Chains A and B, each alone.
Chain A
Amino acid sequence: MKLKKIFKISLQSICKNKMRSGLTSLGIIIGVCSVIVMVAIGQGSQEKIEKQINSLGTNLLMVFPARTNRGGANQARGSFNKMKLTDCQALLKYGSKFKYVSGEVRVNGQIIGGSGNWNSSIEGVSEQFLDIKEWELAKGEFFTSKDIQYKKKVAVLGHTVAEELFGDDSPLGERIRINNTPFTVIGVLAEKGETGVGNDQDDIVIAPVTTVLSRLKGGNKINMIFISAIDKESLDEAQIEAEQIMRIAHKLDDGEDSDFQISTQSQITEMASQTSKTLTLLLGAIAGVSLMVGGIGIMNIMLVSVTERTREIGIRLSIGARSSDVLFQFLAESVTLSLFGGLVGILLAMLISGCIGWFTSLSTSIHPLVVLISFAFSGTIGIFFGYYPAKKAANLNPIDALRYE
């Protein structure tokens, strides 16, 4: 019998039992809908994190002190730091693939000024820091190479710090004290908000690296070096170049382990998105379970339906339907119901994830592949869970089926 005929019979039977058909589809609707929405939330947050990390600058190389191992004990990163400001100068002098280089020293300090006090992290950086991070100033100006050279006690405040200390007043030209050292505020950074993991990027004070080293931290070791490659394509070459220059600057012999480590932005992005990928997978798996339950629901109702429709099957068999006709009819019914459920589930998921994106701070992203996979999966469920009841219907004996009350 032709496929068209079978689907015609199945559709007739589905339409004549709207309530039963609707309930059967409901399981698949909820299953498909939850899979798509869950994955959409997972992927949405993944994309958000990636976007934020990439907004730190895509051509960025970061040089950290390496983890060291002394006498079998793994030491904390930076325990035996050998990175100095002279490394930055060497990089600038010998590198050909670098656009900007900035060392960074970080200390925590109590900041007193204006009408209050605040504890924040103070970052000593070079005058190229803003260009490297692609950050912007809200007002005032950034310090220059001269300020660095003369170790000027000037500071640029993050938005949060400026607000905590000075409220709505302009902090420009005001004097603040960081760990009892007086600084003059010369600028305020533009507001950047929280990172994907909830860190306030505006809770920061920026000062010349030389000033922070000599006045606040002491010593000559720096925490890390930011390097900005001239473009995205030369990122790998820049990484190799930085490695070579640093090894020469640190007078390392061939075969000796580097006492520093260079990471690119993309490596860090990958690490961060790995976490949210796991999250997406977990959410999807949980939702997948509900899709399976929906499939079992289909099998359940189809089985009940076979019993309830024993007489109908008997009639069909007695007027000349073959076993295969009945098998395909029931199979076509369950596949149609599950595909219909899949379709409605997809539409519902689009609506719900649109609402989530609109009314909450969660961002959602529906990937076409996810939609396609869950649609195909719902069809497979229809075949898988529809086969057993269909087989049962097809194997009925027409005499017994006709007598069934």
Chain B
Amino acid sequence: MKSVIQMKKISKHFQMGSQEVKALQEVDIHIAAGEFVAIMGPSGSGKSTLMNILGCLDTPSGGEYFLDEVNTAFADKNKYASIRNEKIGFVFQGFNLLPRTTALENVQLPLLYNHQREITNPKQIAIKALEEVGLAQRMNHIPSQLSGGQQQRVAIARALVNDPAIILADEPTGNLDSRTSVEVMNIFQKLNEKGKTIIVVTHEQDIAAYTKRSIVLKDGKIIFDKPVKNRLQAEDVLKSLEKK
């Protein structure tokens, strides 16, 4: 299996006044293509820092990070932007869609910043991504006209549009009710079945139950890394919810 993420002894230190905070201490993570991973841990465990480094929003203080078999250590600022654009699809807790901008335009945004290849039909690609999350009929609505679940699906479509190596979701269900959360996890499961590598950062055990593997962090170290037992299928959960 091809390795998508390979972290070797990654550490991150912050200087807080005179004190040095060790947010990550020599963390090793290997994630192969097609995996569906939950990164968990209490607040202050370093999972946000790990997420920022995974997403190339931040650089580690030490260690090596290979993303899609490319070493990120030597990348400059613009290279980081390109990696974020092409290799990573972000899904945030607060959706982070541009206000007063239609769903279709929001989804097209990453294509606009793609420096690598010339995209001749951005609209078609964006429509296709919206179809994948089942929102094609709402593509001309602006975020304020969409429900939270729909907004998160637009955000997922935006993450998909550049066909990235990984989808990185930071508390994707944090702002959603339990039913909509299951719907969003359903979409992730379907995308994973199609071969997408997905990493979800969450502190909810229920959400992690939909993934295939869970990694638990504490005090900047991995304390647990095992496949998920009793995995939930979002499809079944939705059906049982409908029966009630």
Contact = CB atoms under 8 A, between A and B. Distances in A.
8 contacts: A5-B112, A315-B96, A320-B84, A320-B113, A320-B114, A323-B78, A398-B57, A399-B58
A325 B86 CA distance: 16
Contacts of B100: 16-17
Interface string B88-102: 001010001111110
Contact of B98 (A5, A8, A315, A320): A315
Contacts of A73: none
Contacts of B90: 318-319
Contacts of A352: none
Of A12, A317, A320, A321, most buried by chain B (CB within 10 Å of CB) is A320
B118 to A, nearest CB: 9
A16 B55 contact: no
Interface residues of B, number: 28
B57 A319 contact: no
Interface residues on chain A, size class: 20 to 34
Q: Which of B77, B109, B114 has the most C-beta atoms of chain A within 10 angstroms of its own C-beta? A: B109
A311 to B, nearest CB: 7
Interface of A: 1, 5, 8-9, 12, 16-17, 311-312, 314-325, 398-399, 402
Contacts of B82: 320, 322
Contact of A318 (B57, B77, B86): B57
A191 to B, nearest CB: 66
Interface string B107-125: 0011011110000000000
Contacts of B55: 318
A399 B99 CA distance: 19
Contact of A317 (B81, B86, B158): B81
A323 B81 CA distance: 8
A399 B115 CA distance: 22
A112 B72 CA distance: 106
B112 A322 contact: no
Contacts of A12: 101, 105
A316 B96 CA distance: 10
Contact of A16 (B52, B78, B101, B109): B101
A402 B84 contact: no
B77 A322 contact: yes
B81 A311 contact: no
B154 to A, nearest CB: 12
A181 to B, nearest CB: 89
A16 B81 CA distance: 25
B52 A319 contact: no
B6 interface: no
Contact of B113 (A1, A311, A398): A1
Contacts of A317: 81, 84
B92 A319 contact: no
Contacts of B85: 319-321
A320 B81 CA distance: 4
A323 B76 CA distance: 12
A8 B55 CA distance: 27
B109 A319 contact: yes
A12 B104 CA distance: 13
B110 A323 contact: no
A325 B80 CA distance: 14
B113 A319 contact: yes
Contacts of A8: 112
A48 B52 CA distance: 71
